[in-house]
A and B are shown apart, each in its own frame.
Chain A
């Protein structure tokens, strides 16, 4: 049994989608009998997350939130991980569903001892269906953007290696990009394809890609 920590802020309209789509991952982790630590909304703050990491030493941590090349943030964009405390993630496998934290911070986290860092080295983009306003559940566009990320995490929870998890996520992205580029189901589909392509090219990993949780 592994210990898995989820940090899931929900304080703006983009993060609300990430929050909604990652709920199933928390349940999935529990169903697989992993020790599952879920810090959501205002509890996805620096103090609570850092305390949990120190006390519970999770094998795998998923951060939802905003980020940049130097930071991973939580509730109300409070900085949770930066250069100053990056060693706290040593011996863990990290997935950062944030923008650009894969550019610099991800590499640093691995040099400071993390087993592997998975993240995005450029922008993470999210499309949404204007017709399903305020209902992520019915949003057919957002699903195409976030489903690959969920496949990645579910694969890791199932015990797949980082390499396999990323391959599966990228394969789903390609499938969804192809669908958006070619479908006649809805007029605006081709508009979204380049933005999902952006997620495809910026999904990266550092460290041991043969690692699993």
Chain B
């Protein structure tokens, strides 16, 4: 796959995750990887994803892994 195509897919994934995060009320609080002891709200999470920070990339990977697991019956198959 060309680098251009890879970047395009990466961008689509990022947009999916941002859209998913936007569904939450702004007041939600997450300490992602215990993020230096702080809790981040929805917009801080989105900002990390938008800016491609290390945390942002880890959030994208986790969200996509969750969606994949959900699709393959993680919660319903024991």
Contact = CB atoms under 8 A, between A and B. Distances in A.
Nearest to B27: A130
A128 B62 contact: no
Contact of A198 (B27, B28, B62, B74): B62
Interface in A64-95: 66
Given A123-B58, A188-B24, A195-B30, A181 B70 contact: yes
Interface stretch (A8-16, A51-59, A157-165, A205-213): A8-16
Contacts of A191: 21, 23-25, 28, 42
Contact of B30 (A12, A100, A126): A126
B34 A123 contact: yes
Contacts of A194: 62-63, 65-67
B36 to A, nearest CB: 8
Given A14-B39, A194-B66, A201-B65, A127 B28 contact: yes
Interface residues of A, number: 35
Contacts, number: 96
Given A14-B38, A14-B39, A201-B65, A128 B29 contact: yes
Contact of A125 (B23, B32, B65, B69): B32
A13 B37 contact: yes
- Main DSSP-derived SS at the A contact region: helix
Interface of A: 11-15, 66, 98-100, 122-131, 141, 174, 177-178, 181, 187-188, 190-195, 197-198, 201
Given A15-B34, A188-B28, A190-B23, 11 more contacts: A14-B34, A14-B35, A14-B37, A66-B36, A99-B33, A99-B34, A125-B31, A128-B30, A131-B27, A191-B25, A194-B63
Interface of B: 21, 23-25, 27-39, 41-42, 58, 62-63, 65-67, 69-70, 74-75
20 contacts: A14-B35, A66-B36, A66-B37, A98-B34, A99-B34, A122-B33, A122-B58, A123-B62, A126-B30, A126-B34, A127-B29, A130-B41, A181-B75, A188-B28, A192-B28, A193-B66, A194-B63, A198-B65, A201-B65, A201-B69
